[in-house]
Amino acid sequence: MKKILSAILAGTMMCSMAIGFAGCGGSGEASKTETTAPAETKAVSTADSATKDSANKGENGELHMATNAFFEPYEYYENDKIVGIDAEIAEAICDKLGYTLVIDDMDFDSIITAVQSGKADFGMAGMTVTEERKQAIDFTDTYTNAVQVIIVKEGSDKVKTKDDLKTAVIGVQMGTTGDIYVSDYEADGATIERFNKGADAVLALAQGKVDAVVIDNEPAKAFVAQNEGLVILDEPFENEEYAICVAKGSELTEKINGALAALKEEGKVDEIINKYIKA
Ligand code: GLN
């Protein structure tokens, strides 16, 4: 079922795994999902644009989804397979549209560039709709709400409220809305430490290298569950909405919106979300 292919592209070793992914559209026919293994660095997004089968817009029956698969419960690895809310909704959308889903894992802040350049057909990564991002890419209709929260060490004296962040050392995942929001605090005296993965920011918090981490609520819950001695402050930081991003002017927007509307109508989106997020 699995095969590991190694390809040397522009001097960069990349590893791709073709992985069977149980179809979640309810039809007996499981569609195939291929997963490109994580780009530890940004090598994948820069070195291989000329050689990778991409920008296909479904031409070989595939749609490439750019994501960062370290964002439980939206996208994360279960053994070799990328699972989660986004992975399953994307799979259901591709089922509806008749495409095979291929997931390309990369740093979060490479996703928009990958979609803009056509290296990926769409980006889905718990991505918040923002006016600034809309300048670069189009968003589909939203599929869920989220909230940015603050994680601190249990009993932290340094950060008890949102306001305390202004004088704190704050860990964020680079290029995320958490990063964008707290950047405003730099002028007040906050120091921002930017990490490629949310997990690395949380590790820095556990090690006392940062005073707080600002990140999306559901991944925050997963991180706190995995790291003893961390808590999420009750005071929410910012409310947001997630959507799928596509290249500006792409006809995919309409297609995805159609599939998404049908999946919402059928209760499939709620079903997938409820499978991963227990009320
Ligand atoms: N929702 C945040 C954003 O869009 C974080 C997403 C992520 O880290 N995957 O910036």
Domain architecture of the chain: domains with CATH: 41-143+243-276 (3.40.190.10), 147-240 (3.40.190.10)
Is the Cβ atom of 144 under 6 angstroms away from ligand 1? no
The CA 256 to ligand 1 mean position distance, Å, reads 20
Cα(128) to ligand 1 centroid in Å equals 6
Say which residues have a Cβ less than 8 Å from residue 251's Cβ, sequence separation at least 6.
Answer: none
For residue 179, how far is its CA from the centre of ligand 1 (angstroms)?
9
Query: Is the CB of residue 125 below 6 angstroms from any atom belonging to ligand 1?
Result: yes
Give the per-residue pLDDT at 34.
56
Our measurement of the distance from residue 116's CA atom to the centroid of its chain's CA atoms, rounded to an integer in Å, reads: 16
Q: Is the dihedral of CA 70, 73, 74, 78 positive or negative?
A: positive
| Most informative mutation of 85, 128, 144, 172 for ligand 1 (most atoms within 8 A of CB) | 128
Is the distance from the beta carbon of residue 139 to the nearest atom of ligand 1 less than 6 Å? Answer: no
Tell me the pLDDT of the chain (279 aa) as tens digits: 333 333 333 333 333 333 333 333 333 333 445 555 443 333 333 333 333 344 556 668 999 999 999 999 999 999 999 999 999 999 999 999 999 999 999 999 999 999 999 999 999 999 999 999 999 999 999 999 999 999 999 999 999 999 999 999 999 999 999 999 999 999 999 999 999 999 999 999 999 999 999 999 999 999 999 999 999 999 989 999 999 999 999 999 999 999 999 999 999 999 999 999 987
Atom of ligand 1 nearest to the CA of 179: 10
Question: What are the structure tokens assigned to 253, written together?
Answer: 């927007």
Q: How many Cα atoms sit within 13 Å of 231 on the Cβ side? A: 11
Name the maximum alpha-carbon separation found in the chain.
57
The predicted structure's pLDDT at residue 42: 31
- What does 200-231 look like in DSSP terms, one character per residue? HHHHHHHTTSSSEEEEEHHHHHHHHHHSTTEE
pLDDT at residue 68, as a whole number: 95
Smallest CA separation from ligand 1 atom 5, residue? 176
Looking from the CA of residue 198, the nearest atom of ligand 1 is 8
Ligand 1 contact, 177 CB (< 6 A): yes
84 lines ligand 1 (CB under 6 A): no
Find the 29 Cα to ligand 1 centroid distance in Å: 32
Cα of 243 vs centre of ligand 1, distance in Å, is 11
Tell the residue nearest (CA) to atom 10 of ligand 1: 176
Question: Is the separation of the CB atoms in 159 and 214 below 8 Å?
Answer: no
The minimum-distance atom of ligand 1 relative to the CA of 177 is: 10
Atom of ligand 1 nearest to the CA of 71: 9
Q: Is the CB of 126 under 6 A from ligand 1?
A: yes
DSSP letter at 86? H
